[in-house]
């Protein structure tokens, strides 16, 4: 399992400032799902994370919702890094089936924990090529 991802998960839990925690979460997810990437990282993370729901469900969310959540988490991360004026708006995520929005940090931590758990049980998916082939299987 990827040591960096586990370390970033632990560090994110210890952060007092959400802006720092979202960066830890993004780094952890990138280490697991986009360590081969030089291009569109947001899309690659979202599609690979969504594909893991074919292996094991993520809470009550379907693959499309996981895809959208991942993109929104990364939008929050980008707003923090680039000093965007709408960072506050990105701190919560509303998905289709929810009445109340959920904190992006809470969802990010849950997704990183989930990714570590699923990949530790399915080590063949740690190889990005295998992960991409997994996407193509029905």
pTM strictly above 0.95 = no
- DSSP sequence for 126-138: GSHHHHHHHHH--
Both structure tokens of 117? 């758990």
Count of domains observed in the chain: 1
Which residue range(s) make up the domain with 32?
A: 3-136
What does the block give as tokens for 58? Answer: 């993520």
pLDDT (tens digit per residue) in 16-34:
999 999 999 999 999 999 8
**The dihedral of CA 32, 33, 36, 40: what is its sign?**
negative
How far are the Cα atoms of 30, 48, 78 from residue 81, in angstroms, in the given order? 15, 23, 5
Strand residues in 47-138 grouped as ranges (E): 92-93, 102-103
Strand partners for 61: 58
pLDDT digits (tens, 9 = 90+) for 86-126: 888 999 998 877 788 999 999 999 999 999 999 999 999 98
């Amino acid at each position: 399992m990827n040591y960096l991802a586990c370390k970033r998960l632990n560090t994110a839990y210890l952060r007092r400032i959400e802006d720092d925690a979202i960066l830890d979460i993004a780094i952890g997810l990138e280490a697991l799902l986009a360590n081969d990437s030089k291009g569109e990282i947001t899309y690659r993370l979202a599609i690979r994370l969504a594909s893991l729901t074919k292996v094991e469900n993520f809470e009550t969310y379907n693959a499309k919702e996981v895809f959208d959540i991942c993109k929104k988490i990364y939008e929050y991360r980008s707003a923090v890094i680039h000093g965007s004026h709408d960072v506050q708006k990105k701190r919560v995520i509303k998905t289709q089936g929810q009445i109340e929005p959920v904190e992006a940090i809470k969802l990010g931590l849950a997704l990183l924990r989930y990714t570590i758990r699923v990949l530790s049980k399915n080590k063949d998916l740690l190889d990005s090529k295998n992960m991409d082939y997994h996407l193509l299987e029905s």
